[in-house]
Amino acid sequence: MCSLFRKYCFVTKRLLHTGNPYYTSDVTHYSLNLKKAAELLDAAGYKVDQSGKRFSMTLDVPNWAVQTQVPIAEYLRPQLAKLGIDVTLRRSPDFATWASRISGFDYEATINGSFNYPDPTIGVDRLFLCSNIRNLIWANTEGYCNPKVDELLGAAAVEVNQDQRKKLYAEFQRKIVDDLPFLHLVQEPVTTIYRNDVKNVPAGVFGPLAPWDGIQLDRQ
């Protein structure tokens, strides 16, 4: 559970976006069951003490997604309290502070988010490969290492048959959802809004984060 076993990220996106061609819903689904959660914690040795608490943990809150990730962090605190888990929110004053803590493994749990980018090999593999456990933000900063996952990602990276590649990534998703190095909570929609007279607006996977040098204003 959280910091007591490994570094954890409460990620505010799905493992793969539902619009990703390699996404699968054929994974383990965890329904809300506080009784079962309490039983698992008891079995793991984290029983409720006389004060009603099992243990305390610190949840790092980034400052770069105030409208999405901060409310989720604030929501998690009272929800985990229902199980006797005392959560302290550590708010970073700026991005550099949060990034330094996470990349330096100076954290117990954090709220985070990551882009899939055009292909899982670019945007997803980096979070789970054993070889990418390093002091760099948006690398494998949770310290997760599963040789089977490395094998699946390596095979998918070079597979040219799309049907076979989908099978590899489906198996990868099942392994991650079972191992739970991340707790995937929500999927954020990203929308670009512009007027009809604005032309050549970036429409690729990077959306408004792409260069704007080709944008034109068509005034008749």
Residue 176 has pLDDT above 70, yes or no: yes
Alpha-carbon gap, residue 39 to 52, rounded angstroms = 15
Do 26 and 120 reside in the same domain of the chain? yes
Residue 26 has pLDDT above 70, yes or no: yes
Residue 96 has pLDDT above 50, yes or no: yes
- Which residues on adjacent β-strands are paired with residue 60? 90, 110
Do 96 and 53 reside in the same domain of the chain? yes
List the Cα angle 124/112/172 in 5-degree steps.
30
Do 36 and 87 reside in the same domain of the chain? yes
Do 106 and 214 reside in the same domain of the chain? no
Do 208 and 170 reside in the same domain of the chain? no
Secondary structure (3-state) at 50: coil
Q: What is the domain-level CATH number for residue 164?
A: 3.10.105.10
List the domain range (segments joined by +) for residue 84: 2-189
| Tens of pLDDT, residues 157-172 | 999 999 999 999 999 9
Name, in order, each residue with C-beta under 8 angstroms of 174's C-beta and a sequence gap of 6 or more: 24, 26, 27, 28
Do 201 and 179 reside in the same domain of the chain? no
Measure CA 184 to chain center: 6
pLDDT of residue 94: 93
Do 183 and 146 reside in the same domain of the chain? yes
One-letter-per-residue 3-state SS of 150-208: HHHHHHHHHCCCHHHHHHHHHHHHHHHHHHCCEEECCCCCCCCCCCCCEECCCCCCCHH
Do 207 and 145 reside in the same domain of the chain? no
Do 220 and 147 reside in the same domain of the chain? no
Number of domains in the chain: 2
Do 65 and 124 reside in the same domain of the chain? yes
Do 31 and 135 reside in the same domain of the chain? yes
pLDDT of residue 147: 97
Do 98 and 201 reside in the same domain of the chain? no
Please count the residues of the chain. 220
User: 70-88 burial by CB neighbour count: b if 16+ within 10 A, else e?
Assistant: bebbeebeeebeebbbebe
Alpha-carbon gap, residue 55 to 81, rounded angstroms = 10
Q: Which helix (H) or strand (E) holds 74?
A: helix 69-81
Name, in order, each residue with C-beta under 8 angstroms of 211's C-beta and a sequence gap of 6 or more: 202
